[in-house]
Amino acid sequence: MKSPLCLASSSPRRQQLLRQLGVPFYSKPPTFSELSPEQVTCLSPRELALRNAMGKAFSVWNPGSDPWVLAADTLVVLGAVCLGKPKDLTEARTMLELLSGKTHHVLTALVLVTPSRQIRSLICATEVEFRRLTPPLIESYLQEVPVLDKAGAYAAQEKAEWLIKEVRGSYTNVLGFPIEEVACLLAKGNP
């Protein structure tokens, strides 16, 4: 790699996972305001995640100084309901009640922008089955774990045993950055 990759993210989780690949990179927080499921009801969850990831990538891309930019966006999908980040603890509580005892999908869109402005993208989907959550458990979880910056109002890396019964697919996708797919995308992009 001639120059380091620019990760369009301020997420410590994404930075930590990318470090595991041994890829030289630096982070730039995106200036793009994420679109919420309520704002764009005409888009499928996959299209919404992809549009958000693309918006994040291009909000930091500068052909002179950022030849390669990688961005990601994660959504939680339960049936036809798409859950982004909760606005407040009331919405977070509602999301956890909705997910209780059910299986949902975690979708992460990855976008790699090349120096020639080519776009390479992929979407990773993982099934997550939740335990039945009692109201006291939900309250304890919301007190212990900061969830307002997490799609679906939960963090798989924090007290997952309270919520998650089973993960089918990429566990790192549930963390918001499917590292296996990131490695594939970077190998194909060949930064």
Active-site residue numbers? 73
Phi-psi region of 181 (alpha: psi -120 to 50; beta: other; left: phi over 0): alpha
Identity of residue 110:
L
Helices (H), the chain: 12-20, 45-60, 89-99, 135-144, 160-163, 171-174, 179-189
**CA-based nearest residue to 69, from 32, 106, 40, 35:** 32
Length of the chain: 191
Cβ-defined contacts of 180-185 (< 8 Å, 24+): 181/108, 181/110, 181/122, 181/124, 182/17, 182/18, 182/21, 182/70, 182/110, 183/21, 184/122, 185/70, 185/110, 185/112, 185/120, 185/121, 185/122
Q: Are the CB atoms for 151 and 78 separated by under 8 Å?
A: no
Query: For residue 74, how many other CB atoms are within 10 A of its CB?
Result: 26
